[in-house]
């Protein structure tokens, strides 16, 4: 509200827009508030305190306060046929977008879905709602419809396909027919997206609190084979298909429950858990061939293949590797209780427990023993993986062994703790 008021005083247009307006109309609590304005990013930085420009592809401005971060975007418009500032790649994807507009009507046409193209000014005459593209009609119909030609809009930014799945799952909407047909044919376009961006977007879908509902949609529209290709192959046909299906369903239910309970979630734990069936399938294949590989080799091979689809940042990759390799250490005949001092310990024990309850009953006794130790051992204090943290010269050693901590009950964070 303060951001909008300041923009109004400077004679700029300013509206709440997107998911916050949609959620308010659906009687939901918005997670955050986005503002759209005719002020350009540089003007916003001069006008708003604690504002900074982020993003190369779509420049936006983050305005931070003591309690929140408001995302402010400049109106956009459709590009001019010649000399525009909207740059496309060879296959139609948008590489750079600096085509600024001056009105709500222009900006609405550049948004992704009609239900996200609703603009609300809370300060003008007690509140004014602007609907240029029939978003209110689609909201009442509980329908998700792409603005413009769906095939073109998906090609411009293929991540819109993942956003469509996330909204369908979280809102309980249905995809409009043309939007769904284009989505069914467009999965291969995810290859145009930078792997690092895919990594983040996949986590958003699966950690939305509706991951269990999103998963079959990712499979239905063949998006999963672009995000987690080896995991998809395990589910299609492998010696561990049934076991993998049970484990993944348990993982997603657990993740959804944590979100609904207001608990923290871990991107490292999620990816480690979803990649574990790949390792199990590889072990089964090697056993049939009479061959063996070390845990470090199996984890390294699995991570290398996954990097080709979604580039995993180093700080997360190290935590994922530790969670996976701890699965062997926790199940060893003579396990070392000092494993409880590792940062990945609590996440690894939780994965072991989910495995025991989802097709590997031989782990039940071992899992129960480690869970008791986990309850008695507070999670170690947070330390970052990577620069500034000692790493053993031996590849087989675990990272970030930490001293005992008197901190509270263990939770999950992006370094893999649980």
Question: Which of 393, 358, 332 has the alpha carbon at shortest distance from 244?
Answer: 358
CB 310 within 8 A of CB 329: no
Report how far apart, in Å, the C-alpha atoms of 87 and of each of 74, 159, 199 are.
Answer: 17, 17, 24
Q: Position of tokens 């879908």?
A: 205
List the catalytic residue out of 38, 112, 138, 413.
112
| CA–CA dist 1, 109 (Å, integer) | 25
Question: Which of 301, 369, 299, 357 has the alpha carbon at shortest distance from 328?
Answer: 299
Cross-strand bridge partners of residue 64: 69
List the catalytic residue out of 34, 97, 138, 256.
34
- Going through 98-186 in order, the beta strands assigned E by DSSP cover 118-121, 128-131, 143-144, 174-175
34 noted as active-site residue: yes
Q: What is the DSSP string of 57-103?
A: SS-EEEEE-SS-EEEEEE-B-PPPSSS-SEEE-TTS-EEEE--B-SS
Rg (CA), the chain: 24
| CA–CA dist 284, 63 (Å, integer) | 52
| CA–CA dist 100, 86 (Å, integer) | 10
Residues designated catalytic: 32, 34, 112
């Amino acid at each position: 509200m303060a951001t909008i008021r300041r923009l109004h005083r400077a004679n700029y247009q300013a509206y709440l827009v997107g998911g916050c307006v949609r959620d308010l109309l659906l009687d939901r609590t918005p997670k955050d508030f986005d503002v759209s304005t005719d002020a350009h990013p540089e003007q916003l930085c001069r006008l708003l305190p604690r504002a900074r420009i982020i993003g190369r592809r779509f420049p936006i401005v983050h305005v931070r306060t003591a309690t929140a971060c408001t995302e402010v975007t400049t109106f956009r418009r459709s590009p001019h046929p010649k000399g525009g500032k909207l740059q496309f790649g060879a296959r139609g994807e948008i590489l750079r977008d600096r085509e600024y507009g001056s009105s709500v009507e222009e900006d609405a046409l550049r948004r992704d879905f009609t239900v996200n193209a609703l603009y609300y000014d809370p300060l003008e005459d007690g509140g004014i709602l602007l609907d240029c593209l029939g978003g209110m009609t689609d909201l009442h119909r509980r329908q998700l419809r792409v603005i413009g030609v769906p095939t073109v809009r998906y090609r411009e930014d293929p991540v819109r396909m993942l956003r469509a799945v996330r909204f369908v799952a979280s809102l309980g909407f249905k995809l409009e027919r043309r939007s769904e047909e284009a989505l069914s044919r467009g999965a291969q376009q995810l290859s145009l997206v930078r792997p690092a961006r895919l990594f983040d977007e996949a986590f958003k879908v699966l950690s939305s609190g509706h991951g269990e509902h999103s998963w079959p949609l990712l499979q239905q529209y063949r998006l999963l084979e672009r995000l987690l290709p080896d995991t998809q192959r395990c589910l299609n046909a492998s010696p561990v298909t049934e076991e993998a299906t049970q484990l993944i369903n348990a993982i997603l239910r657990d993740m959804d429950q944590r979100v609904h309970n207001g608990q923290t979630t871990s991107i490292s734990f999620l990816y480690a858990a979803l990649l574990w069936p790949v390792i199990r399938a590889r072990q089964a294949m090697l056993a049939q061939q009479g061959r063996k590989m070390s845990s470090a080799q199996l984890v390294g091979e699995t991570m290398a293949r996954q990097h080709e689809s979604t580039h995993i940042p180093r700080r997360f990759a190290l935590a994922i590797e530790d969670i996976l390799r701890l699965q062997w250490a926790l199940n060893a005949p003579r396990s070392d209780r000092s494993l409880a001092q590792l940062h990945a310990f609590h996440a690894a024990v939780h994965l072991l427990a989910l495995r025991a309850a989802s097709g590997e009953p031989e782990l039940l006794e071992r899992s129960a023993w480690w869970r008791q130790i986990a309850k008695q051992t507070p999670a170690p204090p947070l330390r970052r993986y990577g620069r500034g943290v000692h790493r053993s010269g031996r590849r087989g050693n675990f990272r970030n062994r930490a001293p005992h901590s008197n901190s509270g009950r263990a939770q999950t964070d992006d370094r893999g703790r649980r």
